[in-house]
Structure 1
Amino acid sequence: MISRRAILAGGVATPGLLSVARAATSPPSASELTAPPTVLGAALSPNGAQLAVLHVEHAGEGLKAYVLLQDVNKPKGQPTVVLIGDYDVQKIQWANDERLLIWVNIHKELDGTPTRLRFGDLYFDAPKQRILSMNLDGSESALLFGQEELLLREFDLATVVDTLPEDPNLILMQAWDGQKLRYMLYKVDVRTGAVAAFERGEPSTYGWFTQNGVPVVRFDSNRRGTVVSLFTRAPGAKDWTLYRKLRRDEMRRFSDLEIVGATTEPGILLASSQRENDDGHVLRRFDLNTLELGETVASRPERDIVDVFQDDRGKLLAAVVAEDRRDYVFFEPALKASFEQLSTVFKHDVNLTFVDVSLDHRRFVLHTSSPTDPGSYWFYDAAGFLSLLGQAYPWLNGRLAPMSILKLKARDGLDLTAYLTLPANATGPCPLIVYPHGGPELRDNYSFDVFTQAFAAKGWAVLQVNFRGSGGYGRAFADAGRKRWGVEMQNDIEDALATVLSSGKIDRNRIAICGASYGGYAALMGAVKTPDAYRAVVSIAGVTHLDDFIASVRREDGADAPSYQYWLKTIGDPVADKALLASSSPALRAREIRAPVLLIHGAADSVVPVEQSKTMSRALKAAGRSAKYVQMDWVGHRGWDRFTLTSILTQAADHIAKAFA
């Protein structure tokens, strides 16, 4: 039996924020949806004795950051407030049982001038990322790398590679060495911030994976970050060995093999991989000595294993499964039982993530989220106690639109999953936004989404479809989308739309389609295939001309690169599949589009060239169609800041609203 109790007084939010959250019933604005959180994280000390929750209050341009610390063995005691001050804090973690690490962004130099990055003759405001270390009471604070004058000019001094549990006063970090022009690994003393060089990478190295504090995997990248060379080094070996080259997708994950954890056995890692005969991504042992993928540790039929949950000593507790809601394969019966109890408490309506665990596996920090909850932190004790530590966005309480999961069949009988979000308190047929995801080998799930909620706040329903070719559903489902861009993949979206229209909940005269990346392509192709279905189209960083896109990948990465080979397999060969590529390119069929089109693209996009949207804009104008092209300077394909995201949301909503009027 799980009971609830309050552990951290004031841990949910300040009284003022709570009163605002209760009083506000109107749908949130775009700026409210993109506003920064006020609770940024929670962490449990390795021994399970101390809880730390990181808060920040915003007052105009000022910030008040603080940590609430609680002795878990004294739940009725008042928490200790450790004031950090006017810092742009980001996250929190324990270095050991007595020392906290707090990530901060620094926006001003010591003389008060803004921190800036230089590109040629231009300067742009950009924060410096640092880590602050302190004792439980906030004393003896130290800025890591704080005494290294040659490194202090670098912007990222906040990347921890290994917390080195066997040496609690040291952690392993990486930082760019501006003199050697490469990343270096350093051992950093969490008490003083002092560093000692440990290992250096190659000029193309961007990261490492370690086992027992020793780097055993190294990642080297091409210029665009689309192809990664994975090097390995077995325990005791001196030289690195190139294992293979991998394609990295737009979410910076590897499509074929992902190192997700280390075991307690020297030289044995855990990898999410898909071999030729595998149904999907399974969890396997990876032997650094033989470079062989070994026995399957965890799998789920027609679903992918995407991550693992381990304690600080590397003991494997669970494997993460891609599902509508986050799910697990457990390796401890007691943890499985706790998860089932917790799922019941939360009415099977949240994504439940294990954030931290004590070494005795009795106490946990949990994170929950759902379409109507952008994120909450909880403390759980296996004795049956559950308590709320804080909500990341309390001002959104009771203001978000609910989502339902739809199971349907495509016209050829393939099973599909879709998600329908209806505006809160909807009373009649609603306008609808069809919102296909990117990738295309990504997927939507039952979760909070900024675009979905921004559209729902306008009174519009939102339909998201995991069409064939989406990730997470195993090999056969992904392969069903190969070379089917604009064909069966688009049919799946149309079939889901037909299913929703048959419910009577949608105003069929006011439907728009909007997406980013592959979703932007699908939005344009939807307007080509079913021009009468949509009143407006929004494509954000979308592919528009398939032949040109494939040619750009070959030009940038090379004909033998796994990225180029992937797109040949996924989209089609420019020679053998010439007709298919032409018929599936919206830029070559612009005349068939009737709805007004908004094209948004970042000029610094390294995944989909900005020329793709420029080509589409020219084609639409040449065809006499309504088109608006917005280019956002210095904006990339992903990782948009809140101001860029708010601008994109606002422009997309305004374009659609005008068409719906």
Structure 2
Amino acid sequence: MPPSPLSRFLPLLLAALLPCTATAVPDAAAFFQTPHIDHVELSPKGGYVAVLTALPGGTAGLVVYETADPSKFSIVIKTSVNENITSVHWVNEQRIGFTVKNLRKEFEGNLDEMAADRDGSNLIHLISGSWQHHQEVTGSFIKSRRLSADYAYYGATHDGSDDILVEHYVWNGVDKTPDHSRLQRLNTRNYQLSSTFEGKQPDAVRGWLTDARDVPRVATSVRQGRCIISYRKDSDTSWAELSNNNCLQDERFAPLFLDGDETLYVQASHKGYGALFRYDLRKMKLASQPFIAVPGFDFSGSPEIDGPSGKLLGIHMQTDAGTTYWLDPVLKADQARIDAALPATTNTIHCPQSCLSSPVLLVVSSSDRQPDQYILYTRASGKLAGLGSQHPDIDPQQMGMRDLHRYKARDGREIPAYVTLPPGKADGPRPAIVLTHGGPYVRGGYWDWDAEAQFLASRGYVVIQPDYRGSTGYGYDHFKAGWKQWGASMQDDLADAALWATKQGWADPKRIAIMGASYGGYATLMGLIKHPEIYRCGVEWAGVTDINLMFTSSQSDVSEESLNYSMRTLVGDPQQDAALFRTNSPLLRAAELKQPLLMAHGLEDRRVPLEHADRFRSAVKQHNDNVSYIVYNNEGHGWRHEDNRIDFWKKTEAFLERNLRQAK
């Protein structure tokens, strides 16, 4: 039985204020164990809060507390060691839903959807996550299985009913991932499915936006490299196109959310960056000026919307760090009171569905040195009551400082990079690691808690995380500059980050490593091959080893749409760019890699199938005896299992200690 949060309130709030007396650096488990608490969600009216709490033995319990008196709680369900609750979502004030991942099966779509009353009664199995019905998940709790894995939870409804919105996926008979979907309502008590709108839907829909009445109004389709945005009026059954653009080449126009005033908010181009604009659906016209534009950054954020009114209350944003722009003056005042009480952290307020009338708000308090802490804020009294921390064994005073910097690459391009310095005063340059994000066409770094960076920094390493060209979030030009640059200028950006860090006096030029996963794994291998004078060793996991194999592997889950359009633009064309692929594929240059290397891969990886790692390991071992290779049999593209995460990072720590820190 989990303890009442009341027993944790005072210690949690004082922890950030009192000096720390601990001296031992936390081990890998403190960073990479399953979060102590997670998926904290307020009920629609704010009367209850759901918390997923880790229990001894690798299990977890979904617990519901009364926000007025958290000593009163109910256990909704306990999981087994082979199950992981990946999402929690309230259906209404009395009923709660949650998504369960079966950890014994790694294939996509293996998600079971459940719903129960908040006291744990009337538990219903709504969606089976296996293509074949199986009896593995939640054992005797199962009452029925109505929908198969071509359905998945999409979102909550806002009418107080027992319904949720589900996405019904349709396959094209070729791809391993869905081709398109349609939204439906599903009753969580009697399994009844109903339509959310009448009429024909647009072709190839990949994304939906619903209005305050949970009716689909905006659809995003992708077909033959074009992104088509369609809209339907409230009373109409037909759809009209808002935009039809080349997904990569044309001006960006991406729908983000709707408010209750028939206003669509979109990301559109403004002075080379993606800004937040209002789009008037009555006039079918984009505003002349952005609603929010942040110099040097593309807009990235999410709204807080009051469910009953559909009113936009505020927007959470990421620039160099997280912040919130409040439109509602009362919530703006709440934010000021919370920030005054917790001045050392970024404090993000999350509203329940009925935000304006809720007696409580949920605060997620964190920083670069502190994992998320969850706190209840009572609006009438201004009192803060802690629910717990994701990783309570982490002491912020033992963590490193993290900052955004910008350095010049060899061709003059400015590259953003987050740098995490080890705690304590340096007596000179220290060993350093270029930690490379995957994607690669995503934003990699933020000023927030980064377990990997802080784990490495706590071991004494300077951690450099460049958002090399091709990364998103820093304008269209920075993104486009990375097209067809695998192993070329994208790789040089990483080398230039290492050289820049040595010029700052942070990094010991004789002790620099490179590491990363997925594309970051590819960049690790190419870095060791292309810049052996810079990198002393490398760690890669789930990495691409041959660019051609990305296009030809029958085991990959990449879609025909991606193979024929986006990948040929971003990565290259296997025929036209064959010479480029040969030059920049680590597999074909494996004999050049002489440094110590640690490789790891998941046996069931479909994004980057195991043949990438197997082929490279066989090739590199012919010329390099200092290669360690780990295969986790029950993993896909990354480490889902706690024991594997901890094992991998312990092995990484030992490898770096031997081959980097102690290197002469």
Shorter-normalised TM range: 0.7 to 0.9
1:393 alignment partner AA: H
Tell me how far apart the structure 2 counterparts of residues 256 and 352 of structure 1 sit (CA, whole Å).
28
1:612-636 CA distance string (max 9 Å, x none): 3344334424555643444444533
Counterpart check, 1:480 vs 2:472: no
Counterpart check, 1:143 vs 2:124: yes
- What are the residue-to-residue correspondences of 1:11-26 with 2, within 5 Å? 11-12=8-9, 25-26=23-24
Moved more, 229-238 or 639-648: 229-238
Moved more, 236-245 or 437-446: 236-245
1:423-482 CA distance string (max 9 Å, x none): 344654532222011122222112222322332343333221222222111112222323
**Alignment counterpart, residue 282 of structure 1, candidates 275, 284, 306:** 275
Tell me how far apart the structure 1 counterparts of residues 557 and 226 of structure 2 sit (CA, whole Å).
11
Moved more, 336-345 or 372-381: 336-345
Tell me how far apart the structure 1 counterparts of residues 87 and 322 of structure 2 sit (CA, whole Å).
22
- What are the residue-to-residue correspondences of 1:191-590 with 2, within 5 Å? 193-199=189-195, 208-211=208-211, 212-217=213-218, 233-238=232-237, 258-266=254-262, 268-272=263-267, 274-275=268-269, 279-285=272-278, 296-309=290-303, 310-313=305-308, 314-332=310-328, 335-336=331-332, 339=335, 342-343=338-339, 346-347=342-343, 349-350=345-346, 352=348, 354=350, 356=352, 358-360=354-356, 364-380=361-377, 385=382, 387-390=384-387, 391-398=389-396, 401-410=399-408, 411-425=410-424, 428=427, 429-442=429-442, 443-550=444-551, 561=561, 564-574=564-574, 576-590=576-590
The share of aligned pairs that are identical, in percent, is 24
1:225-252 CA distance string (max 9 Å, x none): x999977655344467898999999xxx
With normalisation by structure 1, the TM-score equals: 0.77
Unaligned runs of 5+ in 1: 1-6, 72-76, 108-114, 250-254
Tell me the SS of whatever aligns to 2:658: helix
Checking the alignment, whether the CA contact within 8 Å between 1:28 and 1:399 is kept in structure 2 is no
1:164-208 CA distance string (max 9 Å, x none): 323444433457899xx9988664556xx2232113999998875
Question: What RMSD, in angstroms, separates the aligned Cα atoms of the two structures?
Answer: 4.7
1:19-54 CA distance string (max 9 Å, x none): xx9786422222332222232244444445x24252
Checking the alignment, whether the CA contact within 8 Å between 1:279 and 1:474 is kept in structure 2 is yes
Tell me the SS of whatever aligns to 2:436: coil
Counterpart check, 1:166 vs 2:159: yes
1:81 maps to which residue? 73
Cα distance, 1:514 vs structure 2 = 0.6
Tell me the SS of whatever aligns to 1:385: coil
Tell me the SS of whatever aligns to 2:446: coil
- What are the residue-to-residue correspondences of 1:29-44 with 2, within 5 Å? 29-44=27-42
Cα distance, 1:374 vs structure 2 = 1.7
1:585-612 CA distance string (max 9 Å, x none): 3333334433122232334333334443
Tell me how far apart the structure 1 counterparts of residues 187 and 630 of structure 2 sit (CA, whole Å).
48
Checking the alignment, whether the CA contact within 8 Å between 1:278 and 1:475 is kept in structure 2 is no
Relative to structure 1, is the Cα distance of residues 355 and 397 closer, same or farther in structure 2, using a 3 angstrom cutoff?
farther
1:500-535 CA distance string (max 9 Å, x none): 223444444332111112211221222223212222
Tell me how far apart the structure 2 counterparts of residues 609 and 526 of structure 1 sit (CA, whole Å).
21
Tell me how far apart the structure 2 counterparts of residues 425 and 51 of structure 1 sit (CA, whole Å).
42
1:379-408 CA distance string (max 9 Å, x none): 345678251432222222347522321423
**Alignment counterpart, residue 69 of structure 1, candidates 63, 66, 86:** 66
1:151 alignment partner AA: R
Unaligned runs of 5+ in 2: 128-140, 172-177
Cα distance, 1:412 vs structure 2 = 4.0
Tell me how far apart the structure 2 counterparts of residues 104 and 162 of structure 1 sit (CA, whole Å).
12
Tell me how far apart the structure 1 counterparts of residues 550 and 125 of structure 2 sit (CA, whole Å).
43
Tell me the SS of whatever aligns to 1:195: coil
Cα distance, 1:69 vs structure 2 = 1.2
Tell me the SS of whatever aligns to 1:482: coil
1:310-355 CA distance string (max 9 Å, x none): 2224322333433221134443455456546655654464363535
Checking the alignment, whether the CA contact within 8 Å between 1:247 and 1:563 is kept in structure 2 is no
Checking the alignment, whether the CA contact within 8 Å between 1:35 and 1:642 is kept in structure 2 is yes
Relative to structure 1, is the Cα distance of residues 459 and 164 closer, same or farther in structure 2, using a 3 angstrom cutoff?
same
Checking the alignment, whether the CA contact within 8 Å between 1:233 and 1:288 is kept in structure 2 is no
How many residues are paired up?
A: 613
Tell me how far apart the structure 1 counterparts of residues 554 and 285 of structure 2 sit (CA, whole Å).
30
Tell me how far apart the structure 2 counterparts of residues 117 and 404 of structure 1 sit (CA, whole Å).
37
Tell me the SS of whatever aligns to 2:566: helix
Tell me the SS of whatever aligns to 2:472: coil
Checking the alignment, whether the CA contact within 8 Å between 2:34 and 2:54 is kept in structure 1 is no
Relative to structure 1, is the Cα distance of residues 57 and 468 closer, same or farther in structure 2, using a 3 angstrom cutoff?
closer
Tell me how far apart the structure 2 counterparts of residues 151 and 610 of structure 1 sit (CA, whole Å).
33
1:4 maps to which residue? none
**Alignment counterpart, residue 133 of structure 1, candidates 102, 117, 137:** 117
Relative to structure 1, is the Cα distance of residues 153 and 350 closer, same or farther in structure 2, using a 3 angstrom cutoff?
same
**Alignment counterpart, residue 57 of structure 2, candidates 41, 45, 60:** 60
1:33-78 CA distance string (max 9 Å, x none): 2222232244444445x2425253523366555332122xxxxx66
Cα distance, 1:256 vs structure 2 = 5.7
Tell me how far apart the structure 1 counterparts of residues 357 and 271 of structure 2 sit (CA, whole Å).
32
Tell me how far apart the structure 2 counterparts of residues 247 and 655 of structure 1 sit (CA, whole Å).
45
- What are the residue-to-residue correspondences of 1:167-182 with 2, within 5 Å? 167-174=160-167
Checking the alignment, whether the CA contact within 8 Å between 1:25 and 1:399 is kept in structure 2 is no
1:103 alignment partner AA: F
Checking the alignment, whether the CA contact within 8 Å between 2:301 and 2:315 is kept in structure 1 is yes
